[in-house]
């Protein structure tokens, strides 16, 4: 405890506090800009951190990481475009609230949940760094496959009225993933002989195409003359009582974020969607999910911020980056002469505690930036639709370029804009396709890896209890909505 | 278009991938009073990875030796590096644009995944060697490469090793060793990155990991992993036997060096080499090398470096053909 | 599909003739599936014998997509009269929408594609105002003042943030 207090004192030194504040601001910005993400934000400050001492460098990087996970929700709530991929699930309920004129409430819930999730993730990190790091590596190919299939089973809850259309959407998403070099053999698949398609179709261009560009197409093609919104459509901030009542959802979301975030390679996007789905599964009113239910914002936002602390577990405990952002962070740490690994906690105790404390201060700063920012976000919501939508398309195209410096990504976003428009027109939901693209690599690669290790025997999946449970749960999730629908139908027929 | 200012040019040159012509011939290459503007290091590697870090370390230290000009790293990822390479290739004769080339690049050339050849760039200087090594978890029964391979021979197809990629520099490095050991049936489990491959071994999912020193360094210090053998001697691991000392006559390595766009003059080339040499001898850069656990292996003779690259492409092609992974 | 510019009073009728319900989707899915199978014919086997190779997953997906396509086609033939008229189950839904303004959509696609093509030549910062202005006009903004000031301010903002503050080179 005394080490933590020393860490806190160190974190509020002017240099360190300055680094935290700069990191938080940049992080919120990078998170909120469609196309930019925590990874891009971190990569951008990497050269800056070279010039800093280890502690402020580290603090700046973690505050960017933390704030970016929150920043993504701002765009998700304001305009229904996930500012970064972990905010995907936040669009479901967050944007619905905004359309009902309750943007301020949605912003308040997401900020409160992000802050709580961030703190809970940090507590998890402090409490269980060593043991959890060892537990995380128990996840092998069979377990990853199980997690991937379990994640994909969420599709069953997202298909809407016509199951076959949802399934086709998910299949298309999985097919989009197979474009590019096969990890296990290096074979180019569906690249049509080009090099540009070799690294595959990116998630960010897909999200931008599906959410920002498709919406713009819909507006002009639908001939809807956007109306200027009048008056204060922001609603009011949530009352403390409402926030306290959301606490169970936040706890559940943070737990899911903490567990999935600690598994290398799983990540915040999967965690937040799983959190949303589990919240819906245990809810008494699952039909209200996706239509602006507060718990549908609280759980995924708590989950993606809890992931930040959790992602530090394999990073600090084993020196293993569990996400693209963590990989950049690791690079920054190594240049600073900080070598994460089993010995870090004993050899560089001071730095680790400064990091713990930094997490707590970063979360508080995020709260401050968020509270100060809400009036600005509300202004964004109330911009004229013609301006808002055009700027979203513009910034999305530029953000996509900034992501990898590859102009082809902007073309990919346009392609996905067209695909998304066509799919929506014909009644195909888009989110299953996104899930397919996210989970495809986890499912295919690990299925084949597990079989290679077991010389082709499927026993690999039943021998591992974790994998077996996940696969069974996935089976239940796939079937449950259909069974429920059938039961409801029968009831209706009888009455 | 010739009077465009520097900044404007910066903006212009971005989409060179789709319009290769755009970057060429529109500006004087500025060789006379080099460096006349900021230096650009094109990075097509994963952000935060060892190659990206090398670019960024250079960009931090180099300005001192480039007459105070800024040295920027510009990220151009995509197409297994092709996007960045295409850009670099398009900046013909311009000494202000550089790239960090690696063994992964030559392997991608060998497999034909990227439509380039070593001759498409001007080799300038090789900086680092990053020897491969084989590591196991501390509770592994293997003590040497011999143990590992003899177990593989007695249980064909059941011994596994995890490593980065398939038909990658890492994979070929191991394939060479395997050939030398008489081709026992070891299952190569490809991962998206070297760190993921180490996790697999650490978690007991594979029997060993084929990786580089900087990734397992902390696990070696903590005793949670052991090294069975290194491809070439590593300063920090004086007691570990090399492949050669264990009876395998080879030393496959990963390496990184700086290349320029095609068509650089002899003068520009030696000028760049001198400045980069000074950069890498700077204490700050040496500090980075130590922290990143890289071995210096400076090859300052640009022609030798170029030949090394070309040879590697040929060797890799031969090996790929033998493994049945290349049909042309 | 004769003259797209001809004004047809009953817009929906024409849509049905071009896009006959889920017909087009069914055939599209079957085409995609065939394409994937065609592409997968050259994939090498797995590195370890007896395990699924790179072709396994794409072929599985192609199979499932093909089946889905056939199901959509069968559904189209089997749906009862009132539904059949509207082509697909969802046509009921889309028929409530106002007719699709294909011209506007086309213009928007051309605008974005044009921006992506032109920006490398004249620079993003200079192409951006044109893009934003055109998009705003397409979405229905008619205020000349806004059509000029917003795009310019936005370009300055983008330039300041990306090129100056963050150091990201823009095309």
Give pLDDT tens digits along chain C (171 positions). Answer: 333 333 333 334 334 433 445 688 899 999 999 999 999 998 988 877 788 999 999 999 999 999 999 998 888 776 543 444 444 433 334 444 557 788 889 999 999 999 999 988 888 889 999 999 999 999 888 899 999 999 999 999 988 888 777 777 777
- CA-CA distance, A436 to A151, in Å (whole number)? 9
Instruction: Measure the CA–CA gap between A45 and A62, rounded to whole angstroms.
Output: 11
Domain limits for position C84: 11-96
Asked if residue C74 and residue C119 are part of one domain, the reply reads no
Q: What is the percent of chain A with per-residue pLDDT over 90, rounded to a whole number?
A: 54
- The pLDDT score that the predictor gives to residue A223 is 54
- Phi/psi of residue A257, nearest 5 degrees: -60, -40
pLDDT of residue C6: 34
- Whole-number mean pLDDT of chain A? 89
CB of C121 less than 8 A from some CB of B? yes
Cβ of A393 and C168 within 8 Å?
no
Winning range, highest mean pLDDT, from A44-53, A403-412, A461-470: A461-470
Which of C65, C96, C127 is at the close of a domain? Answer: C96
C120 at the B interface (CB within 8 A)? yes
Asked whether the beta carbons of residue B192 and residue A183 sit closer than 8 angstroms, the reply is yes
Rounded to 5°, angle at Cα C32 from C31 and C36: 120
Classify residue C3: in a domain, yes or no.
no
Residues C92 and C106 in one domain: no
Pair (C82, C113) in one structural domain: no
pLDDT at A221: 85
Residue C146 Cα, gap to closest chain B Cα (Å): 26
Computed from CA positions of residues B173, B179, B181, B186, in that sequence, does the dihedral angle turn out positive or negative?
Answer: positive
- B2 pLDDT above the threshold of 70: no
Q: Are residues C23 and C68 in the same domain?
A: yes
B280 to B48, B74, B75, B125: CA distances (angstroms): 20, 20, 22, 11
Query: Does the beta-carbon distance from B78 to A199 stay under 8 Å?
Result: yes
Interface of C with A in 87-146 (CB under 8 A): 88-90, 93-94, 97-102, 104-105, 107-109, 112-113, 115-116, 120, 124, 128, 131-132, 135-136, 138-141, 146
- Residue-wise pLDDT for B20-53, tens only, equals 333 333 444 556 678 888 999 999 988 888 898 8
Is C2 part of a structural domain of the chain? no
Q: Kindly calculate the radius of gyration of chain B based on its CA atoms and give it in whole angstroms.
A: 21
Q: Are residues C54 and C113 in the same domain?
A: no
- Report CA torsion sign: A304, A309, A315, A318: negative
The full set of domains in chain B, from first to last, is 6-129+253-322 (3.40.190.150), 131-246 (3.40.190.10)
The residue from C62, C96, C130 where one domain ends is C96
B neighbours by CB contacts (3+ pairs under 8 Å): A, C
C87 and C71 within one domain? yes
pLDDT, one tens digit per residue, over B52-87 is 889 989 998 999 999 999 998 888 888 888 989 999
H helices within A12-101, ranges in order?
A: 14-32, 38-50, 54-79, 88-99
Q: Is the dihedral angle over the CA atoms C15, C20, C21, C25 positive or is it negative?
A: negative
Do C42 and C86 share a domain, yes or no?
A: yes
Question: In the prediction, which pLDDT does C79 show?
Answer: 58
Q: Which of A323, A262, A270, A286 is nearest to A153 (CA)?
A: A270
Geometric angle at alpha carbon C137, from C132 and C138, rounded to 5°: 100
Q: Check pLDDT > 80 for residue A143.
A: yes
Peptide bond before B35: cis, by omega within 30 degrees of 0?
A: yes
Separation in Å, CA B296 to CA B273, B286, B292, B306: 15, 9, 11, 18
Number of domains in chain C: 2
pLDDT higher than 80, residue B253: yes
CB atoms within 10 A of CB A5: 11
- The residue that leads in pLDDT, B147 or A380, is B147
* Start-to-end C-alpha separation, chain A: 63
C123 and C77 in one domain?
Answer: no
Span B315-323, average pLDDT: 91
SS3 for A217-278 is HHHHHHCCCCCCCCCCCCCCCCCHHHHHHCHHHHHHHHHHHHHHHHCCCCHHHHHHHHHHHH
Do C113 and C154 fall within a single domain? yes
Segment A124-132 shows an average pLDDT of 89
Structure tokens at A299: 């759980």
**Would you state the pLDDT for residue C82?**
44
pLDDT for B277 beyond 60? yes
| A332-380 pLDDT, tens digit each | 888 788 888 888 888 888 889 989 999 999 999 999 999 999 999 988 8
> Is C32 domain-assigned?
yes
pLDDT value for B29 = 53
Q: Tell me: do C53 and C84 sit in the same domain.
A: yes
pLDDT digits (tens, 9 = 90+) for A457-478: 999 999 999 999 999 999 988 8
Q: Give chain A's radius of gyration (CA, Å).
A: 22
Last residue of a domain, one of C96, C127, C154: C96
Give the pLDDT mean for B280-288. Answer: 91
pLDDT bin (cut points 50, 70, 90) of residue A232 is low
pLDDT digits (tens, 9 = 90+) for A1-26: 678 888 888 888 889 999 999 999 99
Beta carbons of A453 and B160 less than 8 Å apart:
yes
Nearest to B160 by CA among B138, B131, B190: B190
Average confidence (pLDDT) over A213-230: 70
Tell me the per-residue pLDDT of C52-88, one tens digit each, with 9 for 90 and over: 999 999 999 999 999 999 998 888 776 543 444 444 4
């Amino acid at each position: 405890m005394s080490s933590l207090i020393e860490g806190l004192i160190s974190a509020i030194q002017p240099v360190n506090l300055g680094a935290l504040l700069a990191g938080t601001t940049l992080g919120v910005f990078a998170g909120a800009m469609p196309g930019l993400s925590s990874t891009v934000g971190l990569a951008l400050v990497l050269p800056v951190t070279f010039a800093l001492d280890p502690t402020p460098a580290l603090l700046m990087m973690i505050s960017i990481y933390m704030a970016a996970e929150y920043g993504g929700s701002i765009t998700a709530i304001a305009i229904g475009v996930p500012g970064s991929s972990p905010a995907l699930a936040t669009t479901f309920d967050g944007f619905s609230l905004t359309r009902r004129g309750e943007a301020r409430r949605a912003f308040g819930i997401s900020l409160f949940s992000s802050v709580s999730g961030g703190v809970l993730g940090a507590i998890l990190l402090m409490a269980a760094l060593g043991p959890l790091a060892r537990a995380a590596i128990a996840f092998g190919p069979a377990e990853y496959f199980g997690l991937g299939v379990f994640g994909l089973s969420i599709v069953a809850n997202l298909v809407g009225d016509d199951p076959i259309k949802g399934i086709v959407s998910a299949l298309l998403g999985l097919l989009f993933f197979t474009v590019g070099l096969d990890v296990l053999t290096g074979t180019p698949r569906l690249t049509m002989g080009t090099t540009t398609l070799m690294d595959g179709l990116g998630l960010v261009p897909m999200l931008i195409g599906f959410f920002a560009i498709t919406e713009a197409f819909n507006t002009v093609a639908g001939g809807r003359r956007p109306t200027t919104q009048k008056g204060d459509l922001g609603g009011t901030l949530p009352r403390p009582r409402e926030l306290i009542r959301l606490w169970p959802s936040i706890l559940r979301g943070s737990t899911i974020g903490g567990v999935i975030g600690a598994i290398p390679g799983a990540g915040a996007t999967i965690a937040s969607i799983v959190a949303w789905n589990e919240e819906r599964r245990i809810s008494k009113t699952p039909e209200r999910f996706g239509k602006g239910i507060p718990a549908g914002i609280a759980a995924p936002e708590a989950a993606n911020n809890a992931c930040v602390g959790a992602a530090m577990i394999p990073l600090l405990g084993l020196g293993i980056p569990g996400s693209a952002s963590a990989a950049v962070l690791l690079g920054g740490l190594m240049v600073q002469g900080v070598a994460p690994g089993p010995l870090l906690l004993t050899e560089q105790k001071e730095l680790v505690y400064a990091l713990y404390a930094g997490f707590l201060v970063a979360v508080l700063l995020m709260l401050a930036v968020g509270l100060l920012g809400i009036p600005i976000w509300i202004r964004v919501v109330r911009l004229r639709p013609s301006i808002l939508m055009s700027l979203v398309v513009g910034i999305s195209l530029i953000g996509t370029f900034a992501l990898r410096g590859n102009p082809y990504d902007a073309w990919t976003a346009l392609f996905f804009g067209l695909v998304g428009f066509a799919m929506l027109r014909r009644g195909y939901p888009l989110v299953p396709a996104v899930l397919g693209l996210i989970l495809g690599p986890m499912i295919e690669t690990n299925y084949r890896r597990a079989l290679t290790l077991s010389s082709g025997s499927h026993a690999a999946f039943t021998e591992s209890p974790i994998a077996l449970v996940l696969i069974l749960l996935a089976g239940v999730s796939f079937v449950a909505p259909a069974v429920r629908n059938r039961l409801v139908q029968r009831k209706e027929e009888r009455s | 278009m010739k009077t465009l200012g520097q900044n404007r040019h910066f903006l212009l040159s971005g989409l060179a991938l789709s319009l290769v012509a755009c970057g060429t011939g529109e500006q004087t290459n500025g060789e006379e009073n080099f460096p006349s503007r900021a230096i650009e290091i094109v990075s097509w590697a994963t952000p935060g990875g060892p190659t990206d870090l090398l670019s960024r370390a250079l960009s931090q230290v180099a300005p001192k030796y480039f007459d105070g000009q800024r040295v920027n790293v510009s990220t151009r990822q995509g197409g297994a590096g092709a996007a960045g390479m295409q850009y670099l290739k398009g900046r013909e004769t311009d000494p202000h644009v550089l790239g960090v080339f690696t063994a992964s690049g030559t392997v991608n050339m060998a497999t034909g995944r990227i439509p380039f050849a070593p001759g498409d760039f001007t080799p300038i200087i090789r900086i680092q060697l990053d020897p491969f090594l084989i590591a196991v978890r501390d509770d592994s029964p293997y003590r040497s490469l011999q143990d590992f391979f003899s177990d593989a021979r007695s249980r064909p197809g059941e011994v596994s090793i995890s490593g980065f990629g398939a038909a990658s520099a890492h994979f070929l490095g191991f394939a060479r060793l395997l050939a030398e050991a008489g081709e026992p049936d070891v299952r190569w489990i490809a991962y998206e990155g070297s760190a993921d491959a180490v996790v697999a071994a650490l978690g007991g999912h594979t029997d060993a990991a084929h990786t580089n020193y900087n990734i397992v360094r902390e696990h070696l210090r903590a005793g949670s992993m052991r090294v069975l053998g290194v491809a070439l001697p590593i300063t920090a691991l004086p007691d570990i036997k090399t492949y050669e000392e264990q009876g395998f006559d080879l030393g496959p390595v990963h390496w990184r060096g700086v290349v320029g766009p095609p068509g650089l003059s002899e003068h520009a080339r030696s000028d760049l080499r001198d400045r980069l040499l000074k950069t890498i001898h700077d204490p700050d850069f040496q500090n980075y090398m130590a922290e990143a656990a890289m071995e210096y292996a400076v090859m300052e003779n640009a022609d030798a470096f170029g030949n090394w690259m070309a040879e590697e492409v040929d060797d890799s092609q031969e090996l790929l053909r033998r493994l049945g992974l290349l049909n042309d | 599909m004769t003259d797209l510019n001809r004004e047809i009073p009953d817009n929906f009728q024409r849509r049905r003739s071009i896009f006959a319900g889920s017909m087009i989707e069914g055939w599209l899915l079957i085409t995609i599936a065939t394409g994937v199978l065609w592409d997968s014919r050259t994939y090498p086997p797995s590195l370890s014998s007896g395990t699924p190779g790179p072709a396994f997953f794409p072929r599985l997906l192609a199979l499932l997509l093909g089946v889905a396509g056939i199901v959509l086609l069968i559904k189209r033939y089997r749906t009862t009269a009132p539904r059949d008229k509207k082509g697909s189950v969802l046509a009921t839904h889309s028929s409530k929408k106002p007719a699709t303004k294909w011209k506007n959509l086309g213009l928007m696609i051309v605008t974005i594609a044009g921006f992506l093509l032109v920006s490398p030549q004249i620079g993003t910062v200079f192409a951006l105002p044109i893009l934003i202005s055109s998009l705003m006009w397409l979405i229905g903004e008619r205020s000349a003042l806004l059509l000029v000031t917003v795009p310019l301010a936005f370009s300055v903002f983008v330039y300041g943030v990306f090129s100056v503050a963050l150091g990201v080179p823009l095309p």
